[in-house]
Every structure is written in structure tokens, then in C-alpha cells.
Amino acid sequence: MYGKIALEEAWAIPENFKAYDVSSLAPKGVIGDDLIANLLDVHGTRLTQMDSNGVEMMVLSLSSPGPQGVTNPKDAEELATLANDRLAAEISKNLKRFAGLVSLSMHDPAQAGEELRRCWGDKTKGFVGVILNDYQSAGEDKNIMMFYDEEKYDAFWKVAEELGAPVYLHPREPTPLIYDEMWKARPWLAYSALGYAHRIGMHVLGIVTAGVLDRFPRLKVVIGHMGEHIPYDLYRIDHKLNRARFPNMPMAKDKLVRGYFGEQLFVTTSGHFSTPALLCAMQEIGSRAIMFSIDYPFESIPNGCVWFDEHVAVSNRDLVDIGRNNALRVFTRLADSEGVHGLEEKGPRECGVGGLGLKKEREREVEYGLYNRDWDKRLERR
């Protein structure tokens, strides 16, 4: 599919690695040849791969945990500002192909709002939303976890809603405290295999059940990894959030968690290239609530794109909505006609979807059914 938009794509500045050493995530050969080089790069290998895999636009964000991993408020705020300025500088070199999410320190909700306003005010900076990497760490031992369903954060949500800036909630590692208790003896489960989804899933459900989306009805929240297992459990979640048992739960009494999806809550496919999971999510929350993403460079661009372009068994229309159009409806600045990115909704034909042979060089003739793509290769396995 041509014209794809990818939303959860990491980028880093060297200062970012002070808060979190990513080298442990990636011994050579595990995630590409050089994770750090890939994180620092924008216009080189990254763009080349976008070109050859039908990715028109990447929305970049500072690699996790970013300011959320910095316990000192001043240091966290300075990291956010530094990262935002550096990202704006990179993006502005190629606004047709790149956009960005604003990083924020969440120690002080008012300051977070101010930094967001500063970045948002100038469209040419190229920002289209916010990234928050799960809880804000605080305390000398890094063990204090600040969650954004606490009342004081309404000051921040108010600004995000007012500006129309969608907030992407991204996972991060456990605190030392939790890590010691449960994850230390099984570190392989503590991160992306399981723990990431546990923590961010609880956080986003905390925000929803705290009534944040009710108080700010135009606010949009996005989560990755096919919804951090929430779509699969949605029946049980709604069934068990029984108001007779929990009369003090602040979420609107006449709503279900299910009801926010597609309106204020959205998921992306980042790092979870599973067709059964995607089909399940479509049945539970609907294709309008799902957006394509890769999670580069922690995932391979061709891997995510080959899956999406050729393996996913959904209708043409759903494919282009998930691959492109839904992102324009959620991250509206991408499509802002007075804006800098200037993207427009497209149909299946414009995106080359439907008919595996619908290739640019032979546009007037389509052929269907070639899983082993090229006709002249049908006698040998690729």
C-alpha cells in the first residue's frame, strides 16, 4: 500500500540515553545492526526504507522513556525542551515526510501545558500531537510513579483538548521497586514481551475510568501495540467494572469503556503484526479506531509493511483507512489544509490496494491472486 502513515516511530538525541541505556535492548543483530544509529537517523536509512516500503509519512517521537524517566523536574523539563527543539529542526527539513510528537515533563501539569503551547503555536515546527511514556518517575530512588489519572493532571488534559493535540501513551520499563518484586527473576517478561502492556494498559484504563475523557470530551488518546491487549479483554473489562460494586468509579455511569473507542480512544498496530489480533480488534472496536504503525527502529520497516500490505486479510477500504485515512482524522494537523504537511485522504486505487499486480508500471491492468507476487516468478518459490 502506497501512502501509509506510521505514528509510533522512535527517534533519539544523544542526551536521551542518559536517562536510559538502550544498548541492553539490542545486542548487535537483534534489532538491526545498530539500534543507536537508527534512532539518531532521520533522513538517511530511515527515509530510504520509507520510500521502498510505501510509507509516505512518519510521525517521530523521542525514544522512551524520555522525560518520564528523569526524576528531577528541572532536568526533565530541560530534556523535553531540548528534544522538542531538535525534533522540530529535523522535521522542518522535510515536512512532507515527517511530523513529530511533543515530549513533555509531567512533573508539573501546568508546565507541561505551557511547553505544549510553545511547540504547538508555530505550525512550521511540524508537531501533530503529544507523546507521554507512561508514568512520570520521581523520587530519589526513582520509585515514585505519577499517573495522569490523578486530579491535578486535569490542568494538562485541558490544554491538550483545547489545542486539539492527540496524546499518545507509550509504554516504559518498570520502576526499581516493582522490578525487584516481580520482574527481576524473569527479566525477559519485564519489557516488551509483557510488562510494557501491563503497565500502560493499567494507566490508560485508569485515565478512562477516572473520567478524564468525560471531562474533556474532545480529547483523543492513542495507544500502540494493537491496544495493549485491551480489545481482547473488552467484554470482561466492561462486564467487571460493575457500578453497583464500584459506585465511586468516576467514569460516566451511562458509558462503557467500549464506547470511547473510535471516538476518543484509538489503537495502533505498532510492533504487533498479528492478523488474528487485528481481526479481533476490528470486531471489538471497529476499523475506524485502528491505525497503522511500525515502532521503528525496534521493529523492522519491511517486516511491518510486508505484513500490512500483503498478509492482512481485510477489505480494501479498511486497509486504506487503517493504513492512512484514520490517522488524518485523529491527528488532524497532518491533513490541515493551511498546515505544513498537507496530506489528504485517499482511496484504495490511489494507494495501489486491491489486485496484487496493481503496480505503477502497468497501471492499466490488474491481476489478482498472486501471493507469490510476480507472474514470472510463479514457478519458483521466493
Using CB under 8 A as the binding rule, the residues of this chain from 25 to 64 that contact a second copy are: 25-27, 29-30, 32, 45, 49, 52-53
Question: Judged by CB under 8 A, which stretch of 13-21, 176-184, 215-223, 322-330 contacts a second copy?
Answer: 176-184
CA–CA separation, 175 vs 215, rounded Å? 30
C-alpha cell at 155: 490542568
DSSP string, 90-114: HHTT-TTTEEEEEE---SSHHHHHH
CA–CA separation, 68 vs 79, rounded Å? 10
Q: Does 344 contact a second copy by CB under 8 A?
A: no
Name the residue with cell 467500549.
258
Q: Cis bond leading into 27, ω under 30°?
A: no
Q: Does 349 contact a second copy by CB under 8 A?
A: yes
Q: Is 33 a catalytic site residue?
A: no
Q: Identify the residue among 306, 342, 344, 350 touching a second copy (CB under 8 A).
A: 306
Using CB under 8 A as the binding rule, the residues of this chain from 77 to 116 that contact a second copy are: none
Q: Does 21 contact a second copy by CB under 8 A?
A: no
Using CB under 8 A as the binding rule, the residues of this chain from 218 to 257 that contact a second copy are: 225-226, 229, 231-246, 249, 253-256
Q: Does 201 contact a second copy by CB under 8 A?
A: yes
Q: Identify the residue among 210, 334, 343, 351 touching a second copy (CB under 8 A).
A: 210
Question: Judged by CB under 8 A, which stretch of 69-77, 107-115, 189-197, 327-335 contacts a second copy?
Answer: 189-197
Question: Judged by CB under 8 A, which stretch of 96-104, 116-124, 164-172, 258-266 contacts a second copy?
Answer: 258-266
CA–CA separation, 348 vs 354, rounded Å? 7
Q: Which long-range contacts (CB under 8 A, 24 or more apart) does 174-178 make?
A: 174/199, 175/135, 175/137, 175/142, 175/143, 175/145, 176/141, 176/142, 176/143, 177/141, 177/143
Choosing from 134, 149, 295, 318, which is the catalytic residue?
295
CA–CA separation, 42 vs 47, rounded Å? 7
C-alpha cell at 337: 489544509
The nearest distance, CB 259 to a second copy, in angstroms, is 5
Q: Does 259 contact a second copy by CB under 8 A?
A: yes
C-alpha cell at 238: 466492561
Question: Judged by CB under 8 A, which stretch of 90-98, 116-124, 333-341, 369-377 contacts a second copy?
Answer: 369-377
Please identify every residue annotated as catalytic: 295
